[in-house]
Amino acid sequence: MSAHDLEARCALREEDARARELAQREFDKPVVLVAGAGTGKTTALVARVIAWSLGPGWQRAAASARSARDERGDRIAVRVLRGVVAITFTEMAASEMSERIGAALLALETGEWPLGLRESAALPGPEALRER
Q: What is the pLDDT of residues 83-92, one digit of tens each?
A: 888 887 889 8
Q: Quick check: 47 and 116 in contact, CB under 8 A?
A: yes
DSSP character at residue 20: H
Mean pLDDT within 41-60: 90
Task: Choose among 109, 114, 115: nearest CA to 130.
Answer: 109
Separation CA 132–CA 128 (nearest Å): 6
* Between 120 and 125, the higher pLDDT residue: 125
pLDDT at 100: 94
Give pTM, 2 decimals.
Answer: 0.82
